Structure 1
Amino acid sequence: MVRQKMISIVVGLTLLLALLVGSSGFLSSASAESPNPAVKKVVVTFMGDARTTKGFTWYTSLASTQSDLQLVKKNGKSKKKPIFKEALTFKGTSAISSNDSEERMHKAEAKGLRPNTEYYYRVGDAKQNIWSSVGVIKTAPKKNGAFSFLELTDPQAKTEEEGQLAADTFKQAAATVKHFDFMTVTGDFVDNGVVEDQWDWLINNSQNVWGNTTVVPAAGNHEDKNHAFIDHFNLKPAASNTDTTTGAYYSFNYSNTHFTVLNTNEDSEQYRDFTPEQVNWMTNDIKKAKANGAKWSVVLIHKGPYTTSNHATDSDIIGENGVRNKIAPLIGKLGVDLVIQGHDHIYARTLPINGDNQATHPKQITEWMNGQRMTYSVNPDGTVYSIPATAGPKVYKKNTSPELGEAFYSKFVRAEENHALKYGLDPSDPSRPVRGAIQNFSKVTIDKKKISVVVYEIDRMKGTAPYIVDQFGIVKK
């Protein structure tokens, strides 16, 4: 026990040092990245047609009543500052924050943008001349072509220092991958969704990343109350009358791929974590996308059916009406290629799982990428489930419950113990590995013939650059 406490102290000191003077250059002050703190928590999202439309959300004090959005087309690699006198302008709306009566939430939508085009943008109050720092975003291509996105999940920090650590994960992910078209985050952005400070700690401290990409969020169970999720993201829910108190479900196309984003914060007698309305919508959404020519189908979900840690044996997952028994078979029958999950804070991935919840063993081919083997499943009969561990401090141990057993784990290609466990246990909860030592993120690339996933890890104790811990893919011939 003494050794575990000593390890925890060393981890804490190491993380603090890394955050203050680490090789990533990360500073523990939000002001280092947010020139005008009067406009904060700026997030850009897809909203309908990813080629021509963007949604914007930001927060200000109550004194800023106007919601103004300006965009200027970026001319190639030119480093000239944008001239906002010539900007496209859009008016948005505002409301008092559900979480904080002293803050105003603003939302605006940009329409009629050019496909495959970069834009400078800023948001704020034109009347008072209060503006955010300038960001750069890009619309989706008009024609099909290869693209990449970052995937992170469960930042879920409960202190300001942990928020800075999670923000640093986003920074290191962006610096490592460099060229990506958008960023998906599969839930639990914060530890308590109704505590607005926690949103500040994550988004403001990583504004250079969040403010210069398009974020694709899935609602987590830690932001399932009081409109905490939808208040921070300007999205177009599946139906205009959808209740967004707990989150939102929606979809969009990007190049040759259809993305379906689910909300596992709903519940019903027929489906745990879902309503029949959402399940029916998901079914029709994916079928329609395939009929319209989508080459690939990707689902983003927080409470995933195939994970290997604490939540793998939760009743809402393994129960008769649970996600594994009700939703996973439907996903397999719909021909979804890849499901990216969250919630379980451990890295794992499956073999392709078919509509009968059985693992399949497709032909495989091996290529070399990043100096390592990259194994692709060829024309798989089933869906690959992946969970990229966590971008934040909290991690879980592998689930050894007899309820799972060898038959369950035989469905996985990767299902090892959490890599953070080598640094000891969390003194406040010995059922978990020590907090903050290990984070993960993924790069997903999709082109005409294949999906390629590269999984990276950050080891704060070693203090080295992110390194690859897994690579896998899917090929359609």
Structure 2
Amino acid sequence: MKKVFKKATISAIFLGLIFSVFSCNNIEKKTETETEGHSHSHDENGTGHSHSHTHYEANDTIPAHKLLYPSKVPDRIIANVPEDAATMIAVNWRTNQQINNAVLEVAVATDGPEFQLGDIKSVNAKTEVFENKHVKHNEPLVKTNYHSASITGLEPKTTYVYRVGSNELEGDTLWSEWFQYTTASDKTGEEFSFIYFGDAQNQVKSMWSRVIRNSYRKFPSVDFMLHAGDLINDHDSNLQWGEWFYSGSFIHATVPSIMTPGNHEYKDTTLTPLWQPQFNLPKNGPKGINEISETTYAVDYQDLKVISIDCINFDRKDEHREAQVQWLDSILKNNTKKWTALTMHFPLYTPAQKREDNAVLIEHLKPLIDKYKVDLVLQGHDHTYARGQISNKKSGVTLMSDAGTIYAVSVSGPKMYESTDKKWIERRGEFTQLFQIITIKNNKLSYEAYTPIGTLYDAFDLTKAGNKKILKNRIPDTPVRLKSDYTR
């Protein structure tokens, strides 16, 4: 009897412990859900309730709800190239609307965790309350707070750590991880590189993610990234923007970006309402025109000036075209940088079948490009690849003693068009996802286009010698990729 009683007692205790753990877990899960999904406040005498409900837990049936909804913890964190890349850092992120006091912290990186004991610079973020609902695909209403902050007075060519978050709770609960970030050099002639992407646009999480991730894997020390428009397909789709941020993940936070809008960031002539809240781009474009603030701007990165032209507004609105032309003329006239690149979404000269060259851009921009000897024009839109220069020289020349402006059109997403082999094109390609790595050191610029698996598809070097530019083609001895070779 004693043995039976002892076994029964142990069994009862064991069952009781399981029940207790199960009950506690349920209570904890319920508490977490209520905290995430509801915000409750009670009046002082306890006779009434003031409720602010987000009910996000009710939308768990939406397959990609984690890409849509913010929480108290920062997400969609992105560093943008500031006006002065040697002494500034500019960051953007979002939280739910319970976080009103957001902070950016920056410290000089150390070999260990001791940077936490040293001088940490802190700045309060500017917070914008925002909500939107993408109607076309019946996306739910998303309410969020976007936060932007910049810190100046940093040391050039120095590696820093930064994080974003809130001090509303003790510890690191409401903070991001510490990201590592390196400022540009302030000395001329030093090497740097950046990656140029054409349209991501479609199936961004599924198909574009490998392009940005493998570009970073191949070139982990890249200094910044440039996106030539059509980052997504539907201008105000929170889900598609969520896929874009998801695909780049921590890369967006550690490698600063610049981007120019494409026609898919617009609905007619209205820019996506998410552009200015979710990016922290320079506001040094034409004065007095808010519609092209953070879409038309210029940045200096060591020996390079990069200029973004909002070609959608340029193409469709006379007053914006005139303002951008005058502004660009002034910027190029006073440019002191050795190298100059323009980026815009619409190509001046199209390689795509069934499309025509953009007469408006050619009429108003080509004279300035030629007058000021712009080195590169980096474009998207045509969902194919082409690279060359507009001249009377025969395409395919290996060495050119006095090169002009190099025009490039590229695509990084899966949407593909067929192209035409025009006289100006040195190398073209179809049905190929690409990214371009551009490296500048003193008088030499090297350009290489790679596929996501690391295959070199196109390459050239530009060398400046006095008033001339020497072009050396390094096109691989491989066939031109054509869509017809891979599809019926």
Structure 1 and Structure 2 fold alike (TM over 0.5): yes
| Higher RCO structure (Cα 8 Å, ≥6 apart) | 1
* 2:459 alignment partner in structure 1: 471
Q: CA deviation at 1:268?
A: 6.4
* 1:412 alignment partner in structure 2: 425
Specify whether residues 345 and 82 from structure 1 end up closer, same or farther in structure 2 by C-alpha distance, changes over 3 A only: farther
**Tell me, what secondary structure is at the counterpart of 1:266?**
helix
Letter of the structure 2 residue corresponding to residue 142 of structure 1: D
Specify whether residues 67 and 179 from structure 1 end up closer, same or farther in structure 2 by C-alpha distance, changes over 3 A only: same
**Tell me, what secondary structure is at the counterpart of 2:351?**
coil
User: Which structure: larger Rg?
Assistant: 2
Matched, 1:149 2:143: no
Matched, 1:298 2:341: yes
* 1:326 alignment partner in structure 2: 364
Write out per-residue CA displacement over residues 104-144 of structure 1, whole angstroms, 9 at most, x where no aligned residue.
11111111111111111111212245112221111110101
* 2:281 alignment partner in structure 1: 235
Identity between Structure 1 and Structure 2 (%): 23
Q: Within 1, Cα distance between the matches of 2:184 and 2:195?
A: 15
Native 8 Å contact 1:96 1:104 kept in 2:
yes
Write out per-residue CA displacement over residues 186-243 of structure 1, whole angstroms, 9 at most, x where no aligned residue.
1111111211121111112321211111111111111122433222211122145332
Q: CA deviation at 1:84?
A: 7.2
**Tell me, what secondary structure is at the counterpart of 2:367?**
helix
Q: How does 1:348-367 map to 2 (within 5 A)?
A: 348-351=386-389, 353=390, 358-360=391-393
Specify whether residues 138 and 361 from structure 1 end up closer, same or farther in structure 2 by C-alpha distance, changes over 3 A only: farther
Q: Within 2, Cα distance between the matches of 1:449 and 1:362?
A: 24
Q: Which moved more, 1:92-101 or 1:278-287?
A: 92-101
Specify whether residues 226 and 190 from structure 1 end up closer, same or farther in structure 2 by C-alpha distance, changes over 3 A only: closer
Write out per-residue CA displacement over residues 378-404 of structure 1, whole angstroms, 9 at most, x where no aligned residue.
442x2100122x2222111115xxxxx
**Tell me, what secondary structure is at the counterpart of 1:476?**
strand
Q: CA deviation at 1:279?
A: 1.0
Letter of the structure 1 residue corresponding to residue 435 of structure 2: F
Native 8 Å contact 1:227 1:244 kept in 2:
no
2:326 corresponds to which of 263, 270, 280: 280
Q: Within 2, Cα distance between the matches of 1:29 and 1:393?
A: 21
Matched, 1:218 2:260: yes
Q: CA deviation at 1:376?
A: 5.9
Specify whether residues 102 and 29 from structure 1 end up closer, same or farther in structure 2 by C-alpha distance, changes over 3 A only: closer
Q: Within 1, Cα distance between the matches of 2:353 and 2:115?
A: 49
**Tell me, what secondary structure is at the counterpart of 2:451?**
strand
2:446 corresponds to which of 441, 452, 460: 452
Native 8 Å contact 2:64 2:239 kept in 1:
no
> What are the ranges of 5 or more consecutive residues in structure 2 without an aligned counterpart?
1-62, 134-141, 466-488
Q: Within 1, Cα distance between the matches of 2:114 and 2:231?
A: 33
Q: CA deviation at 1:244?
A: 3.0
Q: How does 1:339-418 map to 2 (within 5 A)?
A: 339-351=377-389, 353=390, 358-360=391-393, 377-380=400-403, 382-388=404-410, 390-399=411-420, 409-416=422-429, 418=430
**Tell me, what secondary structure is at the counterpart of 2:344?**
strand
> What are the ranges of 5 or more consecutive residues in structure 1 without an aligned counterpart?
1-27, 365-374, 400-405, 421-437, 459-464
Native 8 Å contact 2:394 2:423 kept in 1:
no
Q: CA deviation at 1:361?
A: 6.5
* 1:266 alignment partner in structure 2: 313
Native 8 Å contact 2:286 2:327 kept in 1:
no
* 2:230 alignment partner in structure 1: 188
Specify whether residues 377 and 193 from structure 1 end up closer, same or farther in structure 2 by C-alpha distance, changes over 3 A only: farther
Q: Within 2, Cα distance between the matches of 1:81 and 1:203?
A: 31
Q: Within 2, Cα distance between the matches of 1:450 and 1:130?
A: 45
Matched, 1:203 2:245: yes
Specify whether residues 94 and 85 from structure 1 end up closer, same or farther in structure 2 by C-alpha distance, changes over 3 A only: farther
2:124 corresponds to which of 66, 91, 114: 91
Equivalenced residues, count: 384
Native 8 Å contact 1:70 1:84 kept in 2:
no
Specify whether residues 217 and 311 from structure 1 end up closer, same or farther in structure 2 by C-alpha distance, changes over 3 A only: farther
Q: Please tell me the root mean square deviation across aligned C-alpha atoms, in Å.
A: 2.9
Letter of the structure 1 residue corresponding to residue 181 of structure 2: I
Q: CA deviation at 1:285?
A: 0.4
Write out per-residue CA displacement over residues 63-121 of structure 1, whole angstroms, 9 at most, x where no aligned residue.
1111200011113xx25474177411011111122536511111111111111111111
Letter of the structure 2 residue corresponding to residue 42 of structure 1: I
2:166 corresponds to which of 96, 121, 125: 125
**Tell me, what secondary structure is at the counterpart of 1:340?**
strand
Specify whether residues 85 and 331 from structure 1 end up closer, same or farther in structure 2 by C-alpha distance, changes over 3 A only: same
Specify whether residues 307 and 246 from structure 1 end up closer, same or farther in structure 2 by C-alpha distance, changes over 3 A only: farther
Q: How does 1:45-64 map to 2 (within 5 A)?
A: 45-64=80-99
Write out per-residue CA displacement over residues 21-72 of structure 1, whole angstroms, 9 at most, x where no aligned residue.
xxxxxxx99989xxx8831111111222111112111011111111200011
Specify whether residues 66 and 263 from structure 1 end up closer, same or farther in structure 2 by C-alpha distance, changes over 3 A only: same
2:376 corresponds to which of 322, 338, 343: 338
Matched, 1:113 2:154: yes
Native 8 Å contact 2:72 2:98 kept in 1:
no
* 2:14 alignment partner in structure 1: none
Q: Within 2, Cα distance between the matches of 1:258 and 1:133?
A: 32
1:103 corresponds to which of 131, 141, 144: 144
Letter of the structure 1 residue corresponding to residue 106 of structure 2: L
**Tell me, what secondary structure is at the counterpart of 2:213?**
helix
Letter of the structure 1 residue corresponding to residue 387 of structure 2: R
Native 8 Å contact 2:292 2:310 kept in 1:
no
Native 8 Å contact 1:47 1:235 kept in 2:
yes
* 2:183 alignment partner in structure 1: 139
**Tell me, what secondary structure is at the counterpart of 2:239?**
helix
Specify whether residues 72 and 269 from structure 1 end up closer, same or farther in structure 2 by C-alpha distance, changes over 3 A only: closer
Specify whether residues 198 and 170 from structure 1 end up closer, same or farther in structure 2 by C-alpha distance, changes over 3 A only: same
Write out per-residue CA displacement over residues 305-352 of structure 1, whole angstroms, 9 at most, x where no aligned residue.
123115741xxx434xx213332232122210111111111111113x
Matched, 1:443 2:481: no
